[in-house]
Amino acid sequence: MKKTTLVAAVLTAAFLITSCEKPCECEEAETPILGAPSNIIPLAQADSLYKNYGNSRVALIELAENITEEGDTIPKEDANYKKATRAVTMPYKAFKEYIAYIEKQADSAGVEIAEMRFYFGKYKNDFPQSDKKGRATLFLNPAAEFTLSDGTKDTVSYAIVTGVDGKKRAEMVGDILNSKDGELAVEDGETIESMSGDDVGLIPPPYQDENDF
């Protein structure tokens, strides 16, 4: 009886040791609940910001944008009337993929992302997508700290340049774009990977829900 008990104990211990060698999937580690970040604002304040913009900017934008080449005003009921952009939208999955991409590229170039910049932009009137022609938008670009030519430091938006040796480095967008001959300022054989993100939806249209801001 004692031998049987001893054998059972040994087998049980062996089973437990073997089980511990494999990742245990029976319990998931608890995700810590983080407190609200410092940039969270009350909902009423967000609504106030949205309404303040609508009251002070939208009418002026639409007035300036809805003038024909002959100087005539385009009425609101006209199909060509351009509504001011009130928001931009991007699928959350696509936003996460963008963040993951720029983080991966930053790591490969040995640069630390210091800021995320949200730039105002505007599509040209001959933009291929008819619902975006002449419309305002936002595009994104990460920024990092660089040492300028005068020795001072500043946080600047950047792109990733892959050298002819295959090594990647971060370059300030101004150093790439503002070349004297109007071409991109890179050496022969080097490639540029843009970090700028766009492809957003503009509101309105496609919708203006009364349950939204």
Confidence band, pLDDT 50/70/90 cuts, at residue 211? confident
User: Bigger pLDDT: 23 or 104?
Assistant: 104
pLDDT at 197 (0 to 100): 95
Share the mean pLDDT of the chain. Answer: 85
User: Bigger pLDDT: 182 or 196?
Assistant: 196
Query: Average pLDDT of 35-46?
Result: 93
Indicate whether 113 pLDDT > 70.
yes
pLDDT at 32 (0 to 100): 72
Q: Residue 206: is the preceding peptide bond cis (ω within 30°)?
A: yes
Confidence band, pLDDT 50/70/90 cuts, at residue 84? very high
Indicate whether 50 pLDDT > 80.
yes
The residues spanned by each domain of the chain are 88-197
DSSP characters over 140-203: EEEEEEEE-TTS-EEEEEEEEEE-TTS-EEEEEHHHHH--TTSS----TT-EEE---B---EEE
